């Protein structure tokens, strides 16, 4: 499944010892596997072979240019949510006709850039956005292809922070208002209706929520057909989950088989916006033990990576597997909170976790950290964001330098 494996107690990324990289690059750093990323993409492609489709990788999961370029070369498109991500997609070599623009707060400047770049389509989140896009497209002398983002009001059975298709969610057109939205879109001179889009949440580990939501989309497409509104694309968003501990998410094949019939019934081309499932298990975070501290009630393993490097445990109570990079056969287990150096009680990578006893100076690997890891990193506590490294077969290279103290103060006013 992924290319981070132990051999004689030593963790390897593909054919390179992780410890060797740690000694050369310093810690903390993210390590990505080219092979895992490529395999995930190819397996997803294979599963969708029976459907006319386009995979648009969700850049928010990890927009390191080296990874984006690998996917672009494979033929993958891009789902972007900001001017920054759009620029990165173009820089990575994604053809504009494979780019979709999501998000509920697009600015005029972002719309202009996307229109000038001739992207495939905008996934429009609201009525006021639709009206503004029409105006901006008119001024730019362009026609904006659009899908309306539909909120199907489905419970994706995932963490509340990453459920996006419930009716209380800020995203998309409420189901009862969608038809009105399409009718309005049809009257706008600079808008071309192309599709329907949904995204019901992230880290979804069952197919049912996708199937349920798509039932509603099929009905909607039927209603639109009666109104002579042709749907060429059905975009089912992202959301397919991965294994962090013992989850058993659907395989690419199971997922594909559960969504393809609905898209075919509508007679549309499918668009998919996977993020986590492509990069999540293609990356680890490597950190060094600074101290092992014992209080009367607890043990703490203090490491040099914290919530500024990997925000998921602190923010979503997310579980990430953590293991020493060098597993010693004889070592006993200890139970500890694995915590970062940041001045917040919420700064932890794991709570009450049983791991092999480790000492100061040893390296730990935090698994499944390729998605929403570096992309959510911050400089909180004026700490430098970590380096990013890519391994390919028996070689590795730094694909983003560790930040420097000059980076940290850039743009700040040093005058008295």
Q: What is the DSSP string of 350-410?
A: EEEEEEE---TT-EEEE-S-SSSSGGG---TTTPPPPEEEEEETTEEEEEEPPP-HHHHHT
- Quick check: 340 binds ligand LLP (CB under 6 A)? no
CB of 311 to ligand LLP, least distance (A): 7
Residues forming the active site: 343
Separation CA 25–CA 384 (nearest Å): 14
Determine, following the binding rule CB under 6 A, whether residue 102 of this chain makes contact with ligand LLP.
Answer: yes
* Environment class of 7 (CB within 10 Å of its CB; exposed 0-12, middle 13-18, buried 19+): exposed
Should residue 203 be labelled a site residue for ligand LLP when binding is judged by CB under 6 A?
yes
- Hey, is 330 helix, strand or coil? coil
Residue 320 sits in the site that holds ligand LLP (CB under 6 A): no
For the record, the structure tokens of 107 come out as: 């600015």
User: Taking CB under 6 A as the rule, does residue 370 contact ligand LLP?
Assistant: no
312 binds ligand LLP (CB under 6 A): yes
**Backbone dihedral angles phi then psi of residue 224, each to the nearest 5 degrees:** -65, -35
- Residue 125 near ligand LLP by CB under 6 A: no
Closer residue to ligand LLP, CB minimum distance, 216 or 312 = 312
For residues 156-175, which are near ligand LLP according to CB under 6 A? 162, 164
Q: Is 305 in the site for ligand LLP (CB under 6 A)?
A: no
Number of residues that bind ligand LLP (CB under 6 A): 23
| Residue 3 vs 164, nearer CB to ligand LLP | 164
Residue for token digits 């509340």? Answer: 160
| CA 34/CA 393 separation, integer angstroms | 8
Q: Which stretch binds ligand LLP (CB under 6 A): 47-55, 219-227, 267-275, 282-290?
A: 267-275
Query: Minimum distance from CB of 57 to ligand LLP (Å)?
Result: 9
**Can residue 202 be called a binding residue for ligand LLP (CB under 6 A)?**
yes
What b/e sequence results for 18-52 when a residue is b if at least 16 CB atoms lie within 10 Å of its CB, and e otherwise? bbebbeebebbbbbbbbbbbbbbbeebbebbeebe
- Rg of the chain over Cα atoms, rounded to whole angstroms, equals 23
Instruction: Rank residues 61 and 303 by Cβ distance to ligand LLP and give the closer one.
Output: 61
The answer to whether 26 and 388 are in contact (CB under 8 A) is no
Q: What is the DSSP letter of 240?
A: B
- In the structure encoding, which two tokens stand for residue 86, read together? 């759009």
Tell me the window of 87-95, 209-217, 218-226, 233-241 that interacts with ligand LLP (CB under 6 A): 233-241
Binding range to ligand LLP, per CB under 6 A, among 19-27, 223-231, 238-246, 404-412: 238-246
- Residue of 28, 156, 209, 237 interacting with ligand LLP (CB under 6 A): 237
Chain residues binding ligand LLP by CB under 6 A are 58, 60-61, 79, 102, 162, 164, 199, 202-203, 237-240, 273-277, 312, 316, 371-372
């Amino acid at each position: 499944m992924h290319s981070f494996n132990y051999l004689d107690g030593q963790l390897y990324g593909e054919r390179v010892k992780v410890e060797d990289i740690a000694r050369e690059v310093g810690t903390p750093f993210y390590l990505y596997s080219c092979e895992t990323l490529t395999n995930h993409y190819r397996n997803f492609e294979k599963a969708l072979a029976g459907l006319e489709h386009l995979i648009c990788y969700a850049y928010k999961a990890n927009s390191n240019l080296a990874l984006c370029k690998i996917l672009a070369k494979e033929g993958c498109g891009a789902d972007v949510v900001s001017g920054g991500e759009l620029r990165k997609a173009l820089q990575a070599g994604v053809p504009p006709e494979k780019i979709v623009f999501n998000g509920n707060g697009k600015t005029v400047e972002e719309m202009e850039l996307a229109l000038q770049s001739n992207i495939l389509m905008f996934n429009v989140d609201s009525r006021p956005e639709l009206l503004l896009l029409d105006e901006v497209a008119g001024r730019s002398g362009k026609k904006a292809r659009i899908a309306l983002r539909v909120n199907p009001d489905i419970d994706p059975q995932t963490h509340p922070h990453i459920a996006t298709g419930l009716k209380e969610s800020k995203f998309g057109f409420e189901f009862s208002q969608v038809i009105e939205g399409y009718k309005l879109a049809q009257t706008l001179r600079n808008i071309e209706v192309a599709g329907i889009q949904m995204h019901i949440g992230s880290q979804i580990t069952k197919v049912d929520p996708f199937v349920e939501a798509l039932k509603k989309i099929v009905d909607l497409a039927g209603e639109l057909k009666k109104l002579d509104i042709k749907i060429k694309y059905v975009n089912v968003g992202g959301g397919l989950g991965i294994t962090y501990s013992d989850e058993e998410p659907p395989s690419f094949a199971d997922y594909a088989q559960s969504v393809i019939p609905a898209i075919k019934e509508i007679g549309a081309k499918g668009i998919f916006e996977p993020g986590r499932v492509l990069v999540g298990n293609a990356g680890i975070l490597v950190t060094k033990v600074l101290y092992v501290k014992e209080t009367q009630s607890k043990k703490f393993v203090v490491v040099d990576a914290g919530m500024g490097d990997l925000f998921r445990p602190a923010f979503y109570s997310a579980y990430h597997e953590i293991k020493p990079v060098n597993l010693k056969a004889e070592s006993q287990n200890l139970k500890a909170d694995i915590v970062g150096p940041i001045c917040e009680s919420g700064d932890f990578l794991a709570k009450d976790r049983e791991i092999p006893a480790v000492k100061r100076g040893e390296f730990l690997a935090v698994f499944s950290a390729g998605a929403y890891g570096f992309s959510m990193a911050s400089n909180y506590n004026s700490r430098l964001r970590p380096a990013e490294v890519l391994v390919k077969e028996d070689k590795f290279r730094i694909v983003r330098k560790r930040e420097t103290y000059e980076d940290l103060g850039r743009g700040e006013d040093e005058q008295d």
